[in-house]
Structure 1
Amino acid sequence: MNTAELGLPVAVPSTALFTDQYELTMLQAALRGGTADRRSVFEVFTRRLPEGRRYGVLAGTGRVLDAVENFRFDEAVLDFLRDRQLIDDATLEWLAGYRFRGDIWGYPEGDVYFPGSPLMRVEGTFAEAVLLETVILSILNHDSAVAAAASRMSVAAGSRQLIEMGARRTHELAAVAASRAAYLGGFHSTSDLAAGFRYGIPTVGTSAHAFTLLHDSERDAFTVQIASLGRGTTLLVDTYDVAEAVRMAVELAGPELGAVRIDSGDLLLVAHRVRQQLDDLGAKDTKIVVTSDLDEYAIASLAVAPVNAYGVGTQLVTGSGHPTCSMVYKLVARAESTAPEAPLVPVAKKSLGGKTSIGGRKWAARRLDADGVAEAEVIGTGEIPPELADQQLLVELVREGRVLARESLDTVRERHAEARASLPLSAMQLSRGEPVLPTEYV
């Protein structure tokens, strides 16, 4: 859900300069050479998953659709380009009327993907499609990296709550996108209010160590917080002595105390001790929240701990060691001429070093076994085999420049859970391994 869905005012800045200069210089040369209007097909894909990952998670499609709609060269943008003398007057005039009027197909947001998966296909003239390369890649690479990390953490956490709290560990705008991607990947709430405002994600937060240190004693701090936020609040108990803080917390709030948070130390050991202490004090329903540089491996190691929720920051918003998905945006087909009916010709990069690509406008399907479990990602450029016709993955997102439909974030989140559940059980392993599905080209 975005601010428009919430009925809130939305500022819509131009996204036209979220691009690289060479997109505009290519445009200028193509306009001059008479090839700018050739019908073209670009595809987004990755040649490999991050090392050791079993599957990827597509996130950011909704943000891409917003960016494409707002890709406009207004007067301020045109003045900037004119003042820098980056492109000629003819190109500036062309950009003044720019609107993407092509088509976009893609995997549904929240779906899983594998090496070679044609995650997004952009079709239009070369001129209108080439300009979108950088903004599409910057969104999909970032959001998909965070969503993949979130998905792995969700697997590790099982039914326990996950709180995204990484805003202070990344760029302020990236933090909002990261919250969205984390929620898609299985997190339940965020500490970032901008993400709650823009996307309707549940927000949480109570106090930091600074609040405790502000007061003359820990008792004073707890007393004020309980008076302000109620007995159901979460008290941070590791500023001084954990055992004493837990005893005091239950004394002041009673067994109705909502939760205690532990942010340091041997979390496994401390959580067991705190749970025993809470139970002994009669606070059997008081929950335990743990934070402190968690990643999916740390979360998995705490599976036997009496923990109710995890707060995750740095490792989540940086993709847990893989802050990008290495997605690329490549021309895979173009028309023989600018004539409207000119046939498409497959094209592909053939350079050395593993950076080759496969030409042609592609379809993709996920073949299932007799039990309905995915067994292969099948990609082709010709006619799709009849047995795969009802298992196609790409859906129409934009037709002749018009966004066909926007989905709520909850819908996308549910789709990811279903897609992940359709994979073989080995996909849930956190140990390093190959992609859980092979990619077959037909």
Structure 2
Amino acid sequence: MSTLRPALLTDHYELTMVSAALRDGTADRRCVFEVFSRRLPAGRRYGVVAGTVRLMELIRDFRFDEAEVDFLRRTGVVDEPAAEWLRNYRFTGDIDGYAEGELFFPNSPILTVCGTFAECVVLETLVLSVLNHDSAVAAAAARMVTAARGRTLIEMGSRRAHEGAAVAAARAAYLAGFRFTSNLEAGRRYGVPTAGTAAHAFTLLHDDERAAFASQVATLGKDTTLLVDTYDISQGIRNAIAVAGTDLRAIRIDSGDLAVIAQQSRELLDSLGATETKIIVSGDLDEYAIAALAAEPVDMYGAGTAVVTGSGAPTVGLVYKLVEVDGRPVVKRSEQKATIGGRKVAVRRHKPTGTATEEVIVPQGVPDRQPNDRMLQRSYLVGGEAVELPTLDESREHLRQCLISIPWEGLKLSAGDPAIPVTVVPAD
């Protein structure tokens, strides 16, 4: 559970709007905001909803203490009526959205926030910060899981991200199907299994490679992974087996032409009798590098920079837009950033075999249901109170099932159309 106080993780203009709305009497108008993406990042065929449960926990703790209100008042961000309103702030509205782990496409209404204008608008920055980051990591990680074809993936990108983002990224990667993370706080906070053994520094610390390996095995046993590329890889493998024996669990290679080195390493391990010793590779791996190793004797991948930065798409472009005021649809009409007015619901259509065929988005109400349709939105908060939230493992399984359901074409790493078409039904 995060101890972070989230209230000031907010853009300045959210609070100036609150001040003005309180002054002119519009702050209490009933509003609906929707979170959606106008398009997927270049080259992507689907998005992955991630961070929703984490967001609900942050909204629960979204309060302004006296020191924060004093800062806002002293610096002129808010006037005194707004400062008093912030002292008593608590979100009392409703939030519905796609399940965490759900796939999304252009215009998918992945989160719907309902309440007064003031209590909803102040959440905009936090909502987008969490969902854009976590969904970007989860989408990249899901593509890596597909490329790995069932082989184990370890998230090890903490040193390439902000310390807070690293924890969220580890959670999102696990949701997407990674098996382990190197980040201990993600293990403590979210229950993500952790893994890790030693870096090159540990080998360099010792007088020779064998001494380093002997120390590691003496401490961790043979069920460990020895990093064999500090010096010469072939000699490193020989030293590893000489020290640990043929029942060493794994070796790790972090540099070089991994395809060639993996083949040579497998041959050498087998010739030494270590036929069950696994090969783990790491070193700037993304989904394309992982896919290129599909035919090689690699048992496990360690991914760092690419996964925690969204593998070239560090945000998924989600926006938070007002679509309804006092039951009346409102529309932004600018040419490049138009919105679709009114609250919407969505269904995913499937063949009897379970393959998804289409996403249909309709104005609020009961959609024209067909056999094998699945409603996409669920309640997260009702009257400001949390509905039972899914566990991380449940969200992880939900995504696994979603990826099974989309056509094979939609899992390709090459650029193309979204995995399924999206139809937006206009209001009457």
State the secondary structure of the residue aligned to 1:139.
Answer: helix
Q: Which of 154, 164, 174 does residue 165 from structure 2 map onto? A: 174
Deviates more, 1:238-247 or 1:365-374: 365-374
| Residue matched to 1:418 | 401
C-alpha contact (below 8 Å) 2:94/2:382 kept by paired residues: yes
Query: Within the alignment, does 1:31 sit opposite 2:13 as a pair?
Result: no
Structure 1 residues 233 and 331 mapped into 2: Cα distance closer, same or farther (>3 Å)?
Answer: same
Query: Within the alignment, does 1:109 sit opposite 2:100 as a pair?
Result: yes
| Residue matched to 2:376 | 393
C-alpha contact (below 8 Å) 1:165/1:313 kept by paired residues: yes
| Residue matched to 2:351 | 369
| Residue matched to 1:8 | none
Deviations 1:112-159 (A, max 9, x none): 000000000000010110110000000000000000000000000011
| Residue matched to 2:209 | 218
1:141-160 map, 5 Å: 141-160=132-151
Deviations 1:97-116 (A, max 9, x none): 11100000000000000000
| Residue matched to 1:60 | 51
Distance (Å, rounded) in 1 between the aligned partners of 2:304 and 2:114: 38
Distance (Å, rounded) in 1 between the aligned partners of 2:309 and 2:211: 37
- Equivalent residue letter for 2:9: F
Shift of residue 12, structure 1, vs aligned partner: 3.3
Structure 2 segments unaligned to the other structure (5+ residues): none
Distance (Å, rounded) in 2 between the aligned partners of 1:295 and 1:217: 33
Query: Within the alignment, does 1:92 sit opposite 2:86 as a pair?
Result: no
- Equivalent residue letter for 2:411: M
C-alpha contact (below 8 Å) 2:351/2:372 kept by paired residues: no
> Deviation above 4 Å: which 4+ runs of structure 1?
none
| Residue matched to 1:402 | 385
Distance (Å, rounded) in 2 between the aligned partners of 1:23 and 1:265: 49
Aligned length, in residue pairs: 424
Identity rate, percent = 56
Q: Which of 40, 46, 50 does residue 37 from structure 2 map onto? A: 46
Shift of residue 52, structure 1, vs aligned partner: 1.2
| Residue matched to 1:435 | 418
1:35-434 map, 5 Å: 35-335=26-326, 344-352=327-335, 354-383=336-365, 384-387=367-370, 391-434=374-417
Distance (Å, rounded) in 2 between the aligned partners of 1:434 and 1:372: 20
C-alpha contact (below 8 Å) 1:59/1:110 kept by paired residues: yes
Distance (Å, rounded) in 1 between the aligned partners of 2:214 and 2:30: 68
Distance (Å, rounded) in 2 between the aligned partners of 1:322 and 1:138: 14
Structure 1 residues 351 and 389 mapped into 2: Cα distance closer, same or farther (>3 Å)?
Answer: farther
State the secondary structure of the residue aligned to 2:261.
Answer: helix
Shift of residue 250, structure 1, vs aligned partner: 0.7
Distance (Å, rounded) in 2 between the aligned partners of 1:60 and 1:151: 14
C-alpha contact (below 8 Å) 1:180/1:199 kept by paired residues: yes
| Residue matched to 1:340 | none
State the secondary structure of the residue aligned to 2:10.
Answer: coil
Query: Within the alignment, does 1:19 sit opposite 2:10 as a pair?
Result: yes
Structure 1 residues 37 and 188 mapped into 2: Cα distance closer, same or farther (>3 Å)?
Answer: same
State the secondary structure of the residue aligned to 2:256.
Answer: coil
Shift of residue 14, structure 1, vs aligned partner: 2.5
Structure 1 segments unaligned to the other structure (5+ residues): 4-10, 336-343
Distance (Å, rounded) in 1 between the aligned partners of 2:222 and 2:229: 19
Q: CA RMSD in A?
A: 1.1
- Equivalent residue letter for 1:201: V
C-alpha contact (below 8 Å) 1:237/1:260 kept by paired residues: yes
Shift of residue 371, structure 1, vs aligned partner: 2.3
Distance (Å, rounded) in 2 between the aligned partners of 1:293 and 1:141: 23
Shift of residue 389, structure 1, vs aligned partner: 9.3
Distance (Å, rounded) in 1 between the aligned partners of 2:363 and 2:91: 25
Shift of residue 372, structure 1, vs aligned partner: 2.0
- Equivalent residue letter for 1:44: V
Structure 1 residues 379 and 425 mapped into 2: Cα distance closer, same or farther (>3 Å)?
Answer: same
State the secondary structure of the residue aligned to 2:169.
Answer: helix
Distance (Å, rounded) in 2 between the aligned partners of 1:256 and 1:107: 46
Shift of residue 370, structure 1, vs aligned partner: 3.3
Structure 1 residues 389 and 402 mapped into 2: Cα distance closer, same or farther (>3 Å)?
Answer: farther
- Equivalent residue letter for 1:359: G
State the secondary structure of the residue aligned to 1:260.
Answer: strand
C-alpha contact (below 8 Å) 1:365/1:388 kept by paired residues: no
Distance (Å, rounded) in 1 between the aligned partners of 2:373 and 2:422: 18
Distance (Å, rounded) in 1 between the aligned partners of 2:305 and 2:205: 26
Shift of residue 218, structure 1, vs aligned partner: 0.8
State the secondary structure of the residue aligned to 1:232.
Answer: coil
Deviations 1:194-253 (A, max 9, x none): 111111111111111111111111111111111111112111111111111111111111
